[in-house]
């Protein structure tokens, strides 16, 4: 007699993938509310386990991480057509080699050399806001922050300037998110909406490829003696094909700027909704900086800034779902995991779990006065061996940008502007974020 596998609780009927994609956060909330921290459902021909316990997240991502790969996961299926075989989508020895090759450029000592670049980009954005400040007019903050983080990332990792390209890049990122973040295998290709989004995606991919090729052509002409990420790759001694170099550069640009921009956007939105927390930050930057520009030497003293960003990433983690595929059979939380099972770990759910967070729906930056416990209950940068390579750069950049802006302006949400999280590739404000910069 065939052995019956012990499966976690879950709905008896298959779940429509298109419906899940339309409201993924509501689906996750409903699954964990009804079935608990380990659940199972079938959708799109897949058996999917959802994990909402930090000890099991640690097991999948770290302790037994070798058994849980990104190969053949939704993450890979969505991103590989755009990013190829870069650090975010590669696996096994290819990933390990790429990680070793890129790691030196993201060391703490290296990242902190670029504080002037970060602060100058934030100051330039403030200068561009002068008309809005004088008129009391709103600006599209999420797009402005995307352009800012893109310019910083390209400068510090690739030694290039994207003057005039930032807005176009932001629009291309939106088009990519709009297509792959809603993609459902087998979806009818001739519907007007799908055709429009696919056409936008193809145009965006062509634009992004052109930007990357221009950067690489410029560096080849200038030589590879610059001490940035691209220089480290070119000087690493590894054989890197033109295709792999393109994949690596585009991966670092896309992954590196998008998550930081979204973390900052949510931070400014939440601070506007909680003016007492903004007052704490402005008092801190006034006391610590006394009117001068921040540097990395100020980071230990800018704790209110750091805590606000950490709390914003708790409530709205840019990466809201992590997927892995079991390579061999395993056991999770007392349930059998057959080889090939798809595992979903949601930072969005973990970050709001009432067993681990006091008042989980509230914006309380003071909770980050000490590090959250237990391990893997807080995953804004993922976990395990594949934890985000750029996490230190992201936090340095976010704190310095927040401190620079808080010195000079308060950002207020445009009255009656709707703000709703939309879970695409990243967790973003569905309709953008229109905010009015007010001079302090």
Which domain CATH number covers 40?
Answer: 1.10.630.10
* Nearest-angstrom CA–CA distance, 313 and 379: 9
Report which DSSP code applies to 288. Answer: H
* Closest residue by Cα to residue 190 from 181, 203, 199, 201: 199
- Any domain includes 231: yes
Q: What percent of the chain has pLDDT over 70?
A: 90
Over residues 151-170, the mean pLDDT reads 72
Report which DSSP code applies to 360. Answer: T
Whether residue 26 has pLDDT greater than 50: yes
The whole-number pLDDT of residue 379 equals: 96
CA dihedral 86, 92, 94, 99 (to 10 degrees): 70
The whole-number pLDDT of residue 133 equals: 96
* Nearest-angstrom CA–CA distance, 192 and 239: 44
* Closest residue by Cα to residue 390 from 30, 27, 179, 102: 102
- Any domain includes 4: no
Report which DSSP code applies to 1. Answer: -
Q: What are phi and psi of 56, to 5 degrees?
A: -75, -35
Whether residue 92 has pLDDT greater than 90: no
**How many domains would you assign to the chain?**
1
Highest-scoring range by mean pLDDT, 68-82, 113-127, 159-173, 240-254: 113-127
Instruction: Compute the chain's Rg from CA coordinates.
Output: 22
Please list, in sequence order, all residues whose beta carbon lies within 8 angstroms of the beta carbon of residue 385, skipping any fewer than 6 positions away: 62, 65
- Any domain includes 10: no
Range with the poorest average pLDDT among 12-21, 159-168, 341-350, 370-379: 159-168
* Nearest-angstrom CA–CA distance, 271 and 440: 15
The whole-number pLDDT of residue 2 equals: 47
* Closest residue by Cα to residue 159 from 261, 246, 231: 231
Q: What are phi and psi of 430, to 5 degrees?
A: -55, -45
- Any domain includes 6: no
Q: Tell whether omega for the bond before 353 is within 30 degrees of 0, i.e. cis.
A: no
pTM over cut 0.95:
no
- Any domain includes 289: yes
- Any domain includes 192: yes
Highest-scoring range by mean pLDDT, 58-67, 142-151, 190-199, 222-231: 58-67
Determine the structural domain holding residue 243 and report its residue range: 17-439
397-409, pLDDT tens digit by residue? 999 999 999 999 9
214-269, pLDDT tens digit by residue? 777 777 776 655 666 677 666 665 667 777 778 888 887 777 788 899 999 999 99
Tokens of 377: 């209950």
The whole-number pLDDT of residue 228 equals: 66
- Any domain includes 5: no
Over residues 124-143, the mean pLDDT reads 95
245: exposed, middle or buried (Cβ count in 10 Å: 0-12, 13-18, 19+): middle
* Nearest-angstrom CA–CA distance, 51 and 39: 7
């Amino acid at each position: 007699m065939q052995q019956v596998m012990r499966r976690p609780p879950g709905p008896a009927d298959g779940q429509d993938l298109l419906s899940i994609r339309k409201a993924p956060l509501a689906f996750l909330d409903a699954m964990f509310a009804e079935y608990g921290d380990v659940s199972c459902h079938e959708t799109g021909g897949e058996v999917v386990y959802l994990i909402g316990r930090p000890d099991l997240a640690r097991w999948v991502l770290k302790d037994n991480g070798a058994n849980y790969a990104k190969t053949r996961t939704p993450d890979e299926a969505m991103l590989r057509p755009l990013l190829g075989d870069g650090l975010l989508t590669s696996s096994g020895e290819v990933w390990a080699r790429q990680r070793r090759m890129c790691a030196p450029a993201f060391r703490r000592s290296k990242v902190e050399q670029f504080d002037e670049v970060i602060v100058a980009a934030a100051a330039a954005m403030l200068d561009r806001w002068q008309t809005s400040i004088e008129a009391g007019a709103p600006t599209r903050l999420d797009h402005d922050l995307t352009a800012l983080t893109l310019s910083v990332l390209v400068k510090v990792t690739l030694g290039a300037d994207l003057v005039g390209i930032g807005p176009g890049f932001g629009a291309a990122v939106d088009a990519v998110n709009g297509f792959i973040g809603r993609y459902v295998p087998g979806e009818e290709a001739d519907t007007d909406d799908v055709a429009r989004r696919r056409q936008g995606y193809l145009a965006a991919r062509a634009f992004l490829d052109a930007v990357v090729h221009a950067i690489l052509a410029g560096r080849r002409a200038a030589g590879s003696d610059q001490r940035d990420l691209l220089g480290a790759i070119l000087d690493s001694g590894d054989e890197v094909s033109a295709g792999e170099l393109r994949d690596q550069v585009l991966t670092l640009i896309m992954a590196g700027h998008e998550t930081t921009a979204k973390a900052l956007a949510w931070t400014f939105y939440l601070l506007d909704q909680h003016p007492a927390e903004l007052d704490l930050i402005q008092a801190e930057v006034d006391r610590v900086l006394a009117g001068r520009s921040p540097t990395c030497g100020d980071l230990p003293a800018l704790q209110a800034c750091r805590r606000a960003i950490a709390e914003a990433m708790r409530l709205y983690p840019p990466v809201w779902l992590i997927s892995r595929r079991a390579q061999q059979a395993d056991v999770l939380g007392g349930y059998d995991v057959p080889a090939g099972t798809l595992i979903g770990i949601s930072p969005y759910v973990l970050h709001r779990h009432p067993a681990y967070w006091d008042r989980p729906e509230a914006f309380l930056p003071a909770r980050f006065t000490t590090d959250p416990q237990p391990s893997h209950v807080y995953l804004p940068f993922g976990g395990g061996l594949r934890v985000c390579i750029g996490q230190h750069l992201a936090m340095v950049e976010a704190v310095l940008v927040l401190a620079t802006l808080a010195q000079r302006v308060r950002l207020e949400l445009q009255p009656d502007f709707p703000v709703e999280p939309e879970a695409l590739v990243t967790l973003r404000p569905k309709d953008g974020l229109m905010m009015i910069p007010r001079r302090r």
